[in-house]
Structures are given as structure tokens and as C-alpha cells.
Amino acid sequence: MKKLLVTGSSGLIGSEVVTYFDAKSWQVAGVDNNMRRSFFGEQGDTRWNQRRLVATSRHFTHYELDIRERERVSELVASLKPDLIVHAAAQPSHDLAASRPFADFEVNAVGTSNLLEATRRFVPEAVFVLMSSNKVYGDRPNAIAMRELDTRWDYVDATYADGIDENMSIDQSMHSLFGASKVAADVLTQEYGRYFGMRTCCLRGGCLTGPNHSGVELHGFLSYLVRCNLEEREYTIFGYKGKQVRDNIHSFDVARCIEAFYEMPSAGAVFNLGGGRANSVSILEAFDRVAALTGKAMRYKYVERPRAGDHICYISDLARLKRELPGWNITKSLDDIFAEIVNTWQARLAT
């Protein structure tokens, strides 16, 4: 039986990866210590998802462990000897990092270093996948020539008709401290691949979403937006007239991508991973989509000042991913994503 180690196993991507590979009869070990509650309070708590995984999975074992604890990380990797490591644990908030800079860097950068070195020492043949972030590009995407449409911003430059590819520089731009810590993790993962010949991959995620997100204001755009609508709470738009654009990818398609890389691994691979242009949506467009599904108008307020280093328009160019991992594609449309998140939150709030 193949063995998988997933960090951040109670989060959106981690839990999807657990479910996906458990269904394929992998032996799955999940590492999570519910640090999201410390970061985001009660609404960020992921224990409900941990309990769901324990109850529904056939081959899953939960490990309560902080990835900043180097010796414990090493001991776990040495004992499990996984074939695949999916590192999804993170301090995930662009905004929160400034108020908790040490925790942000220790979790995102030092935690990644601990896992990579444990992998090199004990299972150097394993495939290692880091859930990186498009925030490694900092605010450089904002330098692309854009035009303002009725409900969104879009690229004018034809070079970016299909989105942003992996050739965009991650240097000399404003990242936020979160973006900087993810750059450190991203480059470390590449270097362990290139320098040591390990089979590593950085997936620079766009807007990752799905029904198992504990969405909060500072992280989890669509999940939080849907919850605000259903509970008739006020949503805050930060700048750009609410026309800022994100491309959304369902966590299921992320899990499929990880499987595709496991089957065709390489050293130091980097891929932009999002929903592409077809799954892109602005905040204003998302308001209309959610209202159409729930019958409730969106309540919101507007703050003129945007978040520091935030993207005006970000769409992932998926060409390299599809070229190097043939057979992988997007299976969950934007309509699918909205309907599933709305249905899930309606069910949660009804209990």
C-alpha cells in the first residue's frame, strides 16, 4: 500500500487530498494542530473537518503535530517513510502576517525547511509537493496594462490573454510578509529539487476553494463571501471598486494535479495552478452569482484603500501545467464551485 503524508490535513486542500488518496486505498497520515483557530479565532477552527475525516476515511491516521518542531517532524517522516508528501500547512493570510510576523515565517518558511530536510534524510526518493501561492509574485501582476470594464478589471496586454505564466519575476516587488515567507518556502523547495536531485514541485495556487473551507474575512474569499450572504452579514470590499479578479480552482482539481505530478515527477518543478480564465470572477460578479443562488441580496461596504500588495487581476496561465502533466485539466466549472459552496454552507448553517 502506498503511503502519503499530508500537512495541514484539516484545511481545505489537505482534507481534499486526504479524501482523494484514501479513496484510492493509500495509507494516509495527516498532520494538523488546528493552528487556524489561533490565527483566525473560532470561525477558523478546523476540528470539525478533522472529525469528518476520521469518521469517513478508511486508511487515515491523524497526528497532532506542529511542523515548527524539527525533531518531531524528522521522527514522523523517518517512521512513516511516505511515498508522497503534500505540504499544505501554512499561515495562509496575506493580511494577518503583518501582525504575527514570527509565526508567519516560522510556519511557512521554517516548517517547510524542516519537512524538506527530513525528506532528504529519510526518504529522498519520495515525491514532495508544496502548496505555494501566487503571492510569490508580489504586486508585480499589477504592473500589467489593464482596462476597467463594467464589473471587472482585465488585461490589455495580449501577452496575458490566457493569464500569468511561470516566467513572471518574483523579485523586486512588494509581497506582504506572507508573500515573502511563501517565496522562501517556494525557493527552498525548488533548491532541494535542483541541488539534491529530489522530486519536488511548487504549486503556485490562485484562488483555491471548495466546500470544506473554514472561510474567514482574511482568508477564503468565496467561502467567506457565501457565508456572509447566507447570514446576511456585511462584506467589506477593499479597494479597486470591487472589480478585482481571481481565478478559482476547486480543491478536487488540486488533488488531481498532485496525483498527476506524482505519476510524472521531476526535480524543482514550478506550476501556476488556478482555475484559468474560464473560472475567473470579480467580487461584484461573485455577489451577483451568490444572490442568484440564494435569493438574498449581498450586503457590503466599500473601503477605498486596497490591501497592501494585493492583486488587481490575477488569472493563472495553465499552459505549462497541461503540457508537462498531460491528461490533467479543470473538471469543476465556476457554476459547479458556487453551487457546491452555497449548498454546503446552507447545510452547515441549518444544523
Q: What is the pLDDT of residues 121-134, one digit of tens each?
A: 999 999 999 999 99
Domain boundaries, given as residue ranges, for the chain: 3-350
What integer is the mean pLDDT of 296-308?
Answer: 94
Contacts of 265 by beta carbon, 8 Å cutoff, 6+ apart: 127, 199, 201
Tell whether domain 3-350 is in CATH 3.40.50.720. yes
Pairing of strands 235-238, 280-282: unpaired
In this structure, of 38-47, 86-95, 168-177, 281-290, the range with the lowest mean pLDDT score is 38-47
In this structure, of 53-57, 198-202, 217-221, 305-309, the range with the lowest mean pLDDT score is 217-221
Q: What is the pLDDT of residues 161-194, one digit of tens each?
A: 999 999 999 999 999 999 999 999 999 999 999 9
**Phi, psi (degrees; rounded to nearest 5) at 156:** -90, -40
CA distance 197 to 195: 6
Q: Could you give the 3-state DSSP secondary structure of residue 153? A: strand
Average pLDDT taken over every residue of the chain? 95
Asked if the model's pLDDT at residue 34 lies above 70, the reply is yes
What integer is the mean pLDDT of 236-255?
Answer: 97
**pTM (2 d.p.):** 0.96
In sequence order, what DSSP letters do the residues of 246-293 get, joined into one string? Answer: EEEEEHHHHHHHHHHHHHS--SSEEEEES--GGGEEEHHHHHHHHHHH
**Phi, psi (degrees; rounded to nearest 5) at 305:** -80, 120
Between 249 and 215, name the one with better pLDDT: 249
Pairing of strands 27-31, 84-87: unpaired
Give the confidence band of 218 by pLDDT, cuts at 50, 70, 90.
low
CA distance 86 to 30: 10
Torsion of CA 9, 15, 17, 23, to 10 degrees: 120
Asked if the model's pLDDT at residue 338 lies above 70, the reply is yes
Q: What is the pLDDT of residue 217?
A: 73
Q: What is the pLDDT of residue 93?
A: 82
Displacement of CA 169 from its chain's centroid (Å) = 20
CA distance 315 to 318: 9
Q: What is the pLDDT of residue 43?
A: 80
Give the confidence band of 212 by pLDDT, cuts at 50, 70, 90.
confident
> Hunting for cell 481545505 — which residue is that?
12
